[in-house]
Amino acid sequence: MLGYGYLTGLEDVDQLQDLALLQREVLFATVLGGVFAIRWFGVTYLQSRSSALPTETPQWQRTAAKLVKHGMYISVLGIVLSGLAIAYSPYASLQSVFVFLHELILGVTPFLIGAHIMGVVFHMVKRDGVVRSMWR
**Residues at the interface with ligand HEM (CB under 6 A):** 2, 5-6, 9-10, 12-13, 16, 25-26, 28-29, 32, 79-80, 83-84, 86-87, 99, 102-103, 106
Nearer to ligand HEM, 2 or 97 (CB): 2
Q: Closest approach of Cβ 130 to ligand HEM, in Å? A: 27
* In contact, 102 and 95? CB cutoff 8 Å: no
Nearer to ligand HEM, 18 or 103 (CB): 103
Nearer to ligand HEM, 68 or 76 (CB): 76
A 10 A CB-CB count for 75 gives: 22
SS3 call for 31? helix
Q: Measured at the alpha carbon of residue 76, what is the angle toward residues 107 and 81, in degrees to the nearest 5?
A: 100
Whole-angstrom distance, CA of residue 82 vs CA of residue 74? 12
Q: Which residue is nearest to ligand HEM (CB)?
A: 9
